[in-house]
Structure 1
Amino acid sequence: MTHDHDLVLRPTEAQTNAALNPPAGRNGGDLVVETLTGLGATTVFGLPGQHALGMFDALRRSTLRYVGLRVENNAGFAADAYGRITGEAAPLLLSTGPGALMSLAALQEAAAASAPVLAIGSQIPAAGLGGGRHGYLHELRDQQASFRDIVKSVHTVRTQSQIPSAIAAAWESALTAPHGPVWVEIPQDVLLAETTLPVVTAMDATPEDIAPRPELTAVAAHLLANAERPAIIAGGGVVRSDASGKLLALAERLDIPVVTTFGGKGAFPWEHPLSLQSWLEDRHTTDFLEDADVLLVVGSGLGELSSNYHTFAPRGRVIQIEADAGKLESNHPALGIHADARLALQALLETAPERRDPTAPERVSAVLGKVRDRIAAQDLGLEQRIVAAVREALPERSPSFWDMTILAYWAWSAFDPKHPNTMHSAQGAGGLGYGFPAALGAAAADPSRPVLAVSGDGGAMYSIAELATAKQYGLDVTWLIVDDGGYGILREYMTGAFGEATGTELARPDFVALAESFGVPATLTSPESLTADLAKALAAPGPSVVVLPALLRMFEPTHL
């Protein structure tokens, strides 16, 4: 009997001839770039190093576009954003030892945010692997051990024939829900050696879907349809799985209010009558969610930021849909459904009968009114005007990338993203320096619309070198730097906790003059002119910088 897959795997005469007569002058690095091309990659990020030169040399013989950043961690942030925007695995090419280790903070963010990054690093020559101390430049006793705690999977290559399979396995791992970073390492001599292996053709590394178990869907649908006060918390998993449309349909079918986590910004329309928006650091929102008799949590592990700093204590029945099995019921007992958010929401749509609750919009409006009144009582007009100015200046479908800075903390709660997958921040792992390099990755992913990056002056110093990258590649990113003279949020935390701050005050450059020295146009703005200056910068092609000197304050969160 002949099976269909037997027919698919049988090479054609042309394929056989090509395989028997591979072009000369190829090395192990060619097998890397050929595999990436065969998997569908079009763009790679990275930074060359001595052991990785075989890969970088092969790039010039490939159709892959290379975007080189100035610091490996920033290259990782750029790849993270590329993965978030496209939903594709973003290749990140790194060298051994210091170069590899410099990417760890970025890969931690990718892991926390479920961004598919395919990191491929070099290694010392194969003879040196195995734990000895051979004295090679960049050598680590066990390089992959440094990555194993962060990435989804680790793949070590020892021969050229292993390269395509290892990269394909890593690609599949990165794109299996939940998405995430993976690590492949290849010895220097394997990359440099001439190869007689055939050119790698199209590879199939399609991940399997994680579908919900039907008996669990049936119970969840029954609970939601018969609930008196249901509510939904939508996390980043809804955005990553492109399930926003399914979420909207389910919420409207069952008349259920929806709050989005900071990682889930844009998962539900901000101004919808059922939208509780994102005011998670607020006791009024927390009270509403605790009062739900059935709470559906989709694509969130209900971690620190999503649970009002672990003060959230649901009293009703919790249903948790999560693609990361390790997060199921990790913080609260629940009906745990291990599934991709899109497939699970589709199953609920097909299973749950309609439910009508005409009071839901009124209850949502009442909660939002209490939140507004609480914020209004704190004399924070400047901060609210700046959030509104950024929203007014930014085109509706332009993505924004926010560093760990006070304005970003405001944006988590108060910014209307307008569309799914348009607002991104480093709130997963919380490292500084994310905003600008991530925006560069997004601009590389989609050059059809301008991208906004937002940093404080402290976080901006992590990324200054990438102004050269932005200029070199003509990336359409406008970088808003809010200059408050230091690490503003840490200043506020320390002053509140200890009465004064230590280590938070920073000497900083003239950001306008510094940007212009890179050939990047820059503007010094004010709260009054921010909308016009930001809109003008966003409308101009290529990179630009807008500097806003302003001392912002956080709103008082309410946990109790």
Structure 2
Amino acid sequence: MTHDHDLVLRPTAAQTSAALNPPPGRNGGDLVVETLTGLGATTVFGLPGQHALGMFDALRRSDLRYVGLRVENNAGFAADAYGRITGEAAPLLLSTGPGALTSLAALQEAASASAPVLAISSQIPTAGLGGGRHGYLHELPDQSASFRGVVKSVHTVRTQSQIPSAIAAAWQSALTTPHGPVWVEIPQDVLMAETRLPVVTGVDATPEELPPRPELTAVAADLLSHAARPAIIAGGGVVRADASGKLRRLAETLSAPVVTTYGGKGAFPWEHPLSLQSWLEDRHTTDFLEDADVLLVVGSGLGELSSNYHTFRPRGQVIQIEADLGKLESNHPALGIHGDARLSLQALLETVEPREDGTAAERVRALLDRVRSRIAGQELTQEQDVLASVRRALPTRSPSFWDMTILSYWAWSAFDARSPNTMHSAQGAGGLGYAFPAALGAAVADPTQPVLAVSGDGGALYSIAELATARQYDLNVTWLIVDDGGYGILREYMTDAFGETTGTELARPDFVALAESFGVPGVRTSPETLETDLAKALGAAGPSVVVLPAVLRMFAATHGGQG
């Protein structure tokens, strides 16, 4: 009796001949690049280092496109954005010790945002693995331990025959919902040694699907169908799962208002009659959501920013659809549904009963009017004008990447992303320096659209070296640097908390002259000329820098039941 799983594909005569006669001059690094190619990778990011040279030498013999950045953390941010834009696992090639460790903050952001990054690092020679102190350059007692609490999975290779399977397993892990960064490490001697193994061709790593359990979606559908005041919070999981179309259909079927989290920007049309937009750091919005008798949370863990700094206290029944098991019911009791957002929304669409609610759009308009009135009372015209100028200058389909700076904090709440997967920020982990290198990764992923990066002067200096990368690869990225002379948001936080600041004021370069020294055109603008200057820069091929000297203020937050 023959079972399907007993069948083995027989190689053709040509395949057998190729396997028995591998080309000379290959090393362990070739097994890495051959596996990546076999899995479908076309582009790799990274930075060479002594122990990793076997991998980088093998790139010469491959069709993979290599994009080299100047700092490992920035290479990680570029890979993160490439993964977000394409939905593919983005390979990130790193060296041992300092090179590997420098990528940690970027991998934390990728983990927070569910971006599929496949980090492949070298290691000290095999003889040094497993503890002890052997005195190798870059040696760590246990390198993988530094990454285990950050990435989805860790894979340590000790022999060349392990390379294809380890990389395939990591690839599958990175692309299984929820997406995320993974770590593979390969010793220097394994990468450098000549190999007689055949060229890697038969490699497969199909990501596992995460369908919801049907008994749970049946209960959720019943609750939503009979709700008096349903509402929906849509998070980044909707964007990652490419489920915005299903979200819109469900919201319209249920007449349910939708608010998007900062990570879920673009998941729901901004001007839709049911759109509450993204004003999460606003007590009026919080009150509205607390008043829902059934609240559907899709693809969000309702963390600090999504819950108005943990002041959110829902009074109705919460239904939480979340692919990350650790986030399920981690902040609020709920009917917890562990599942991919796309598959879960489809299950609800197939089972909910349509409900009519003639008051929903009116309640949404009333809420947005209250939010606008509150902001209008704070005399923040310049800030709103600057953000509006950015929106008008940026083409509709162009992606934008935002650093942790005051204009970004405004954008989280007030910027219309226009479509899903076009607005990205570092709010997952909250590290500085994300915007520009991430924008470079997006420009590599899709060179047909200009890309915008937005930083403050403090965050800009984290990634200023990547102006060389932008010029070297002639990437279509415009970098808007809002120069306020320091860490502007920390200046506000410290002034509010202590009445004075420490460590927030910064000496900085002439950013226009500095950009031009890299061969990148730069222009100094003003709030009045920003739209024209930014549109012109975005319309020109290649990289550019636009510097806006301005001190922007943050709108007064309303949480904890305040004003």
Which TM-score tier does this pair reach, normalised by the shorter chain? over 0.9
Alpha-carbon distance between aligned partners in 2 of 1:231 and 1:528, rounded to the nearest angstrom: 39
Determine the structure 2 residue equivalent to 1:15: 15
Determine the structure 2 residue equivalent to 1:423: 423
Determine the structure 2 residue equivalent to 1:491: 491
- Give deviations 1:300-350, integer Å, cap 9, x for gaps: 000000000000000000000000011000000000000000000000000
Question: For residues 18-57 of structure 1, what are the structure 2 equivalents within 5 Å?
Answer: 18-57=18-57
For the 8 Å contact 1:263–1:428, the answer to whether it is kept is yes
TM normalised by structure 2 equals 0.99
Question: For residues 146-185 of structure 1, what are the structure 2 equivalents within 5 Å?
Answer: 146-185=146-185
For the 8 Å contact 1:436–1:453, the answer to whether it is kept is yes
Amino acid at match of 2:425: S
Question: For residues 142-541 of structure 1, what are the structure 2 equivalents within 5 Å?
Answer: 142-541=142-541
- Give deviations 1:54-76, integer Å, cap 9, x for gaps: 00000010000000000000000
Alpha-carbon distance between aligned partners in 1 of 2:194 and 2:238, rounded to the nearest angstrom: 45
- Give deviations 1:470-515, integer Å, cap 9, x for gaps: 0000110000000000000000100011001110000000000000
- Give deviations 1:266-316, integer Å, cap 9, x for gaps: 000000000000000000000000000000000000000000000000000
Q: What SS does the corresponding residue of 2:144 show, helix, strand or coil?
A: helix
Q: CA deviation at 1:389?
A: 0.2
For the 8 Å contact 1:401–1:452, the answer to whether it is kept is yes
Amino acid at match of 1:410: W
Alpha-carbon distance between aligned partners in 2 of 1:236 and 1:3, rounded to the nearest angstrom: 42
For the 8 Å contact 1:471–1:543, the answer to whether it is kept is yes
Question: For residues 536-547 of structure 1, what are the structure 2 equivalents within 5 Å?
Answer: 536-547=536-547
- Give deviations 1:12-53, integer Å, cap 9, x for gaps: 221111111110000000000000000000000000000000
Alpha-carbon distance between aligned partners in 2 of 1:203 and 1:345, rounded to the nearest angstrom: 32
- Give deviations 1:345-385, integer Å, cap 9, x for gaps: 00000011111111100000010000000000000000000
Alpha-carbon distance between aligned partners in 2 of 1:383 and 1:8, rounded to the nearest angstrom: 64
Alpha-carbon distance between aligned partners in 1 of 2:4 and 2:39, rounded to the nearest angstrom: 22
Alpha-carbon distance between aligned partners in 2 of 1:363 and 1:18, rounded to the nearest angstrom: 68
Q: What SS does the corresponding residue of 2:508 show, helix, strand or coil?
A: coil
Alpha-carbon distance between aligned partners in 1 of 2:383 and 2:11, rounded to the nearest angstrom: 63
Alpha-carbon distance between aligned partners in 2 of 1:107 and 1:174, rounded to the nearest angstrom: 12
For the 8 Å contact 1:39–1:202, the answer to whether it is kept is no
Amino acid at match of 1:108: Q
Alpha-carbon distance between aligned partners in 1 of 2:190 and 2:435, rounded to the nearest angstrom: 36
Alpha-carbon distance between aligned partners in 1 of 2:204 and 2:197, rounded to the nearest angstrom: 19
For the 8 Å contact 1:265–1:278, the answer to whether it is kept is yes
Q: CA deviation at 1:11?
A: 1.4
Determine the structure 2 residue equivalent to 1:77: 77
Amino acid at match of 2:459: G
Alpha-carbon distance between aligned partners in 2 of 1:370 and 1:6, rounded to the nearest angstrom: 66
Q: What SS does the corresponding residue of 1:321 show, helix, strand or coil?
A: strand
- Give deviations 1:114-135, integer Å, cap 9, x for gaps: 0000000000000110011000
Alpha-carbon distance between aligned partners in 1 of 2:86 and 2:192, rounded to the nearest angstrom: 31
Amino acid at match of 1:184: V
Q: What SS does the corresponding residue of 1:307 show, helix, strand or coil?
A: coil
Amino acid at match of 1:421: N
- Give deviations 1:519-538, integer Å, cap 9, x for gaps: 00011000000000000000
- Give deviations 1:368-410, integer Å, cap 9, x for gaps: 0000000000000000000000000000000000000000000
For the 8 Å contact 1:293–1:315, the answer to whether it is kept is yes
Alpha-carbon distance between aligned partners in 2 of 1:9 and 1:98, rounded to the nearest angstrom: 43
Amino acid at match of 1:328: L
Q: What SS does the corresponding residue of 1:76 show, helix, strand or coil?
A: helix
Amino acid at match of 1:18: A
Q: What SS does the corresponding residue of 1:185 show, helix, strand or coil?
A: strand
Alpha-carbon distance between aligned partners in 2 of 1:355 and 1:510, rounded to the nearest angstrom: 58
Amino acid at match of 1:137: L
Determine the structure 2 residue equivalent to 1:66: 66
Alpha-carbon distance between aligned partners in 2 of 1:507 and 1:444, rounded to the nearest angstrom: 32
Q: What SS does the corresponding residue of 1:223 show, helix, strand or coil?
A: helix
Q: What SS does the corresponding residue of 2:67 show, helix, strand or coil?
A: strand
Alpha-carbon distance between aligned partners in 1 of 2:329 and 2:185, rounded to the nearest angstrom: 34
Q: CA deviation at 1:204?
A: 1.3
Q: CA deviation at 1:3?
A: 4.9
Alpha-carbon distance between aligned partners in 2 of 1:246 and 1:192, rounded to the nearest angstrom: 49
Alpha-carbon distance between aligned partners in 1 of 2:7 and 2:480, rounded to the nearest angstrom: 56
Alpha-carbon distance between aligned partners in 2 of 1:452 and 1:132, rounded to the nearest angstrom: 47
Q: What SS does the corresponding residue of 2:93 show, helix, strand or coil?
A: strand
Question: For residues 118-157 of structure 1, what are the structure 2 equivalents within 5 Å?
Answer: 118-157=118-157
Alpha-carbon distance between aligned partners in 1 of 2:5 and 2:471, rounded to the nearest angstrom: 48
Q: What SS does the corresponding residue of 1:459 show, helix, strand or coil?
A: helix
Q: CA deviation at 1:9?
A: 2.4
Q: CA deviation at 1:4?
A: 5.1
For the 8 Å contact 1:85–1:421, the answer to whether it is kept is yes
Amino acid at match of 1:54: G
- Give deviations 1:126-166, integer Å, cap 9, x for gaps: 01100110000000000000000000000000000000000
Alpha-carbon distance between aligned partners in 1 of 2:2 and 2:415, rounded to the nearest angstrom: 58
For the 8 Å contact 1:403–1:459, the answer to whether it is kept is yes
Alpha-carbon distance between aligned partners in 2 of 1:511 and 1:148, rounded to the nearest angstrom: 38
Q: CA deviation at 1:6?
A: 5.7
Percent identity (aligned):
85
- Give deviations 1:426-478, integer Å, cap 9, x for gaps: 00000000000000000000001000000000000001100000000011000
Q: What SS does the corresponding residue of 2:471 show, helix, strand or coil?
A: helix
Q: What SS does the corresponding residue of 1:455 show, helix, strand or coil?
A: strand
Alpha-carbon distance between aligned partners in 2 of 1:17 and 1:3, rounded to the nearest angstrom: 29
Determine the structure 2 residue equivalent to 1:113: 113
Q: Supply the RMSD in Å over aligned alpha carbons.
A: 0.8
Amino acid at match of 2:421: N
Q: CA deviation at 1:208?
A: 1.3
Q: CA deviation at 1:8?
A: 6.2
